[in-house]
Structure 1
C-alpha cells in the first residue's frame, strides 16, 4: 500500500470551539486538515465548562422554580452524572461532525518545530511528525492554581475535578469570586450544597458593572451563600471527610471540598512557540492581529489562547475569521473584543455587553444611565427575579449606547441583542417600536428604551 503523505494544508492544535469549527470550515472547502487533540474532543467548553455547567444550571433552575411556586419538593439523583452525560453527548456530536467532514484526528501532545513541522507524542510513546502549509493554534487555557494550595482533585479541586466527583459534596468553599466561581456558587446553592465564596479582592465579579455586583450579591445571600471578600486561605487542616480552613480575615470554616476558581492561564508554555517565532504577551497569550494571524504569517491562533474575553462564542468567530483568511476569502465583520456579549448562568442570569458605568466614566464620557426593575414584566415574579434590573449606559453628548447590563430572567439572551444595539448604533426609538414577544427579556429591553425616551408604560415616573 502507498504511504499516506504527512503533509497537510492545515494542522489545527486543539479541538475546543475555536479549533473544531475552524477545522470543519477548512475541510468543507476541500483542504486537507489534521486536528490534534491532547485529551477529549470538544475541549474545555464541551467537557468541563459551558455544556456540563449548563446541565447543572438547568437542574438548579428547575428546583428553584418549584420553590418559587411554593411546591414542597424532594428529589433524588446525581446532577453530576447528568452533567457528564450532557458533556458526552456534545463530545459525540462534535466527533461525528469532524468525521463526516473528513477532518483527520490524532491524539497526543503537540509541540511545534522549525520547517513547518508539528511533533506529536502519542499515547503509545511514539513521536510522530506532521507537516503543514498553515497552522492554527487553539489550545485554550487551563485552571490557574494557588501557589500555597496544590490542586489534588480529591479535596482541593479545579472545575474539571469537581465535575468528575462521584456525587455532590454537602459543602464547598469556592476560592474565587469571578465568573466561574459565582456561577457555580449560585447553581450549587440551589441544589442543596452549602456554599461559601472566598475572594481576595474587595468585591466579587471584578470588572462588572457595580449594579450587577450589588444585585448578584443580594441574590446569593438569599440563596444562603456566604461571601468572604478581602480574604485568602491561610491554612488547611484535614479531619476525616471534612477540611478546616483558616481565612486571613479570621474565620475558621469546616467544609467537605475546596474548589479553586481563581482564573485561567493559556496553554502555551509547552508548545515550543519560540521555535517558530510566534510572539506571546506577558501572560503567555498568543498575540494576533485582526485576521487572527500571529507574528509568523503561516501560523494563526483562535480562542482562549489569544486572551480575554475567554468565551466560546468569541472563539467561534475567531475561527471563522482565521478560516476565511487562510482560504483567501473576504473577512466580513471584524471582531471587536470590547463588545462581545457576556452571560453568566447564575440564578437569576446575568447578561452584559459593552462598558460598565465606571469604565465609561474613566474613559471621559459624559455618562447617562437609566435603570429600571425587571418587574415591568410579570416574568420577574413568575421566576422569582423581583430584585433584578436592566440598565443602559449612554454617552449623553452623542446619545450612543455604550453598555447594557441586566440581572433577571433570560438575561443571557438579552446580551446578544445589546450587540446589535451598540455595534449597529440602533436608535432607541427603533427598539421601542419593536413588537418583541410578550413576557420575554426583549420586552423588558423595549420598556427600558421607552423609559429613556420618556414614554414608559409599565413603570410609573412622576412628572417633574
Structure 2
C-alpha cells in the first residue's frame, strides 16, 4: 500500500462542516492509516535525495508525490467583462442575481465562475434555469442554493442540504438524530461510523404540526450521497416532516434510516426523540 500524510491548515478536516462530521471523517482516515496533521501550515516543498520533503511547522515529511489542494479561483480575467459593464466581486466571481442574470441583464452566468455552489450538479441546475429565464420558456425560476446538496466523497461519505443544526438553532428548529450504530443495515454491513441528522422548523401558521417543515439534513454514511436526495426533494417541495416518516421504506436499506429518524419528531423511537436544535 501507499502511506499518506495529510497536512491541513485548519484546526480540523472538513472545516466547513459541523465538528462531529469532521470527527467521524478524521477517525475513518486515521483507521485507514492516514497520518493527520491539522492546524499546520505547509511552509515549503523541496527536492531531496531523489525524493520530496515537505516542511511544515518544524516537521519534515518525506514523500514521493505531493498533491496540493488549495482551492480554486475564477478564470474571469481577460474576457473584457469590464468593457461591457459586467460586474465581478473582489475574488473575480461574476456577480449574478438569483435568476443568474449579470449586471448586464441579457447576459447570464452559471457554474463555478459565479461563486455559488461549486458543484457539477449545481452548474447543471443553473444552466437550465439561465436558459429558461433568458428565453422565458422551459424551466424558469430562481436558483436556490439552499436546496442544492453538498456531497463529499470520503469514506464514509458526507452529504448535507439546507440548514445545519447550528443554523437552525436561531430559527426555532428541532433535530432528530440517528447514529448508524443503531441502524440495522449499518450493523449488517459493519459500517456503523456516522449518523443521520434531520432538521425541521415551524411553519408560519401550523408551527410544528405534522413535524413542521423540513429545513435540512446532514448524513455521514457509506451511501450518504444517495440518501440525501430524498431530503432534497422534501426541502424543495416544502414538505411536512411527517411525510418522511409516513413514506414506507424498504427494510433493511440505508434510506430506511431517514424514515426512522423522521419518526422522532412524533414520539420516542427506540429511546430517541427529536430535540431542540443546539440543545444537546
> Shorter-chain TM-score category?
0.7 to 0.9
Q: Is the 8 A contact 1:269 1:284 kept in 2?
A: yes
Change (3 A) 1:315 1:390: same
CA distance in 2, matches of 1:194, 1:317: 39
Question: What root-mean-square deviation, in Å, do the aligned CA atoms of Structure 1 and Structure 2 show?
Answer: 2.1
Q: Is the 8 A contact 1:302 1:318 kept in 2?
A: yes
The aligned residue for residue 317 of structure 1 is: 125
Q: Is the 8 A contact 2:111 2:126 kept in 1?
A: yes
Aligned: 1:413 with 2:221: no
Say which structure, 1 or 2, has more relative contact order (CA 8 Å, 6+ apart). Answer: 1
Aligned: 1:380 with 2:186: yes
Matched residue of 1:406: which SS?
Answer: strand
The aligned residue for residue 176 of structure 2 is: 370
Runs of 4+ aligned residues of structure 1 deviating over 6 Å after TM superposition are none
Aligned: 1:428 with 2:238: no
Change (3 A) 1:277 1:430: same
Instruction: Return 5+ residue gaps in structure 1 as ranges.
Output: 1-191
CA distance in 2, matches of 1:455, 1:310: 39
List per-residue Cα deviations over 1:84-122 (Å, max 9, x = no partner).
xxxxxxxxxxxxxxxxxxxxxxxxxxxxxxxxxxxxxxx
CA distance in 1, matches of 2:114, 2:268: 44
Q: Is the 8 A contact 1:383 1:409 kept in 2?
A: no
CA distance in 2, matches of 1:210, 1:357: 11
TM-score under structure 1 normalisation?
A: 0.54
How far did 1:316 drift? 0.6
Report matched runs for 1:258-297 at 5 Å: 258-297=66-105
The aligned residue for residue 55 of structure 2 is: 246
Count of residue pairs the alignment pairs up: 266
Change (3 A) 1:299 1:414: same
Q: Which of the pair has more CA radius of gyration?
A: 1
The aligned residue for residue 334 of structure 1 is: 142
Aligned: 1:395 with 2:201: yes
Q: Is the 8 A contact 1:379 1:409 kept in 2?
A: no
CA distance in 1, matches of 2:133, 2:141: 13
Change (3 A) 1:254 1:453: same
How far did 1:268 drift? 0.4
